[in-house]
Amino acid sequence: MPYRPLVGVIAGLALLLFGYSAILRAGSYGTLGVSPRSAADSAAYLPFVMKQVPTAPTPTVTITPAVTFTATISPTPTTPPVATATSIPGGYTYYLTGDPANAQTSTEAGLMLMGGGEDVDAAFTWLIDKSGGGDVVVLRASGSDGYNHYIYHELGGVDSVETLVIRQRFAAYDPFVLSKVQNAEALFIAGGDQWDYVSRWKGTPLEAAIHDLASQEVPIGGTSAGLAILGEFFFSAQNGTVYSDEALADPYNHYMTLDREFLMLPHLDGVITDSHFFERDRMGRLIAFLARISQDGWASDVKGIGINEETAVLIEADGNATLVGSGAAYFLRTTAPPQLCQPNTPLTLLDVQLYRLFAGASFNLATWTGSGGTAYQISATGGVLSSTQPSGGLY
């Protein structure tokens, strides 16, 4: 074979193998620029993607009820095939890696708040330690079993990893789904679209099962969209994402869909969370979220937590939090109601307290005070943000 065609054939085979390896690691996902295991809360931040443009449907394999198959997910021939999947058409898909028997271990309460992007190994190791090495359950609304291999094989130390992809609301009433969640020693909510979680889980037995886990001191975590729903208040994304400039220009615009009375977890009462914080410039929209919650009378003392990508906040049972990963987290609190928060009017909310947390510093959510970080204030005046930092920087 001539030299040039031979090089082309070799290059093509290399690309094919690389793509296949990525699929095995990630499962099924379709959002760019995020962790291979967890899609981001919205693709609309990309400059070339318009709001409300539907993503392409995820290819699926239809499997009749009670039919199972076994798939090898190991990167090398030495790892035995351990991932078993069961799919209920239109309802949910269940993936198991590890021991199918129910483990019973001693767990410790804790919350893992991850800001999206590449997953933080140290955060998952913390969650595994809190689980006592038991059964880790991953909840998601789309995608596949990418977390099974990552947690079970790459990190290790667990009895099993079980992923439940809840595709329809009726699956949140399914006895099998509920039993798997109820018997979890750790629960992790992946990224995706938080409206899928809200519309499919809110007001269902699955929501109640998550509350039961928290009351039994089972550690719970979430990333991206999975983080967005952990606070008492949350941005539901019912109409798609919202950008900071839109939120500041009109805090009641069509995309500002806030909600409450979903998950109620320890130390997150009165709190709304946000992810991909610095990377997608979400300070403005979090300020607007706080203003709306106060203006609408949902709370007088309103707090927010914004977390950068590749970063996680680890909250202990007593409310003390530390940070792992490469970025920062921001703890916000209002000092007064907004001076001006009305439809079709730029927002004015003054003197919001802010505490920036890096690795090595700490913050206690019970007292809302920190040590080793940076405290400053941010104001929105006529829809424009300003900061008391010497540099004037918002972050």
Ordered per-residue pLDDT tens for the chain, 395 residues: 433 344 343 444 444 443 433 333 333 333 333 455 554 333 333 332 333 333 333 333 333 333 333 333 334 344 543 567 776 666 999 999 999 999 999 999 999 999 999 999 999 999 999 999 999 999 999 999 999 999 999 999 999 999 999 999 999 999 999 999 999 999 999 999 999 999 999 999 999 999 999 999 999 999 999 999 999 999 999 999 999 999 999 999 999 999 999 999 999 999 999 999 999 999 999 999 999 999 999 999 999 999 999 999 999 999 999 999 999 999 999 999 999 999 999 999 999 999 999 999 999 999 999 999 999 999 999 999 999 999 999 99
pLDDT of residue 76: 39
Helix then strand count (H, E) for the chain reads 9, 20
Distance CA 128, CA 135 (A): 9
User: Backbone dihedral region of 190: left (phi > 0), alpha (psi from -120 to 50 degrees) or beta?
Assistant: beta
pLDDT of residue 87: 65
pLDDT of residue 43: 35
pLDDT of residue 371: 98
pLDDT of residue 261: 92
> DSSP alpha helices (H): ranges in 157-282?
175-182, 194-201, 205-215, 225-228, 244-249
pLDDT of residue 57: 37
pLDDT of residue 10: 41
pLDDT of residue 378: 98
Q: Where along the chain do its domains lie?
A: 3-387
- pTM (two decimals): 0.82
In this structure, which amino acid lies at residue 220?
I
pLDDT of residue 84: 73
The DSSP letter of residue 113 is E
The DSSP letter of residue 34 is S
Residue 330, CA distances (Å) to 145, 274, 323 in order: 31, 10, 11
- Largest distance between two CA atoms of the chain: 76
In tens, the pLDDT along 172-194 reads 999 999 999 999 999 999 999 99
Residue 258, CA distances (Å) to 39, 81, 102 in order: 21, 44, 38
Distance CA 118, CA 38 (A): 9
Q: Is 184 helix (H, G, I), strand (E, B) or coil?
A: coil
Q: Are 233 and 271 in contact (CB under 8 A)?
A: yes
pLDDT of residue 83: 65
CATH class name, domain 3-387: alpha beta
